[in-house]
Amino acid sequence: DRESEQNITKALENFRKDRITFIIAHRFSTIKTCDKIFFLKQGEIICKGSEETLHQNCPEYRKLKTL
């Protein structure tokens, strides 16, 4: 549910301060605050960068966001 997701997101934000953290996510709300996102397709990194960079430069990322 939404409340649980918000609690987990807040806990992750606190945990990842001054740390390198890998987050595997299927929801865009989970990754929007990440410094760097690796977008995979069939096990290969096809795009990487900030959310803004992926939105501008990765058609597959944009397409998935519109679904």
What does the pLDDT read at residue 28?
Answer: 86
pLDDT tens readout for residues 3-40: 888 888 888 888 888 888 888 888 888 888 888 999 99
pLDDT at 50 exceeding the cut of 90? yes
Mean pLDDT for 36-58 is 95
Q: Report d(CA 39, CA 45) in Å as an integer.
A: 6
Angle, vertex CA 59, rays to CA 52 and CA 55, nearest 5: 10
Q: Report d(CA 12, CA 39) in Å as an integer.
A: 20
Radius of gyration of the chain (CA): 13
Mean pLDDT for 41-67 is 94
pLDDT at 41 exceeding the cut of 90? yes
pLDDT at 54 exceeding the cut of 90? yes
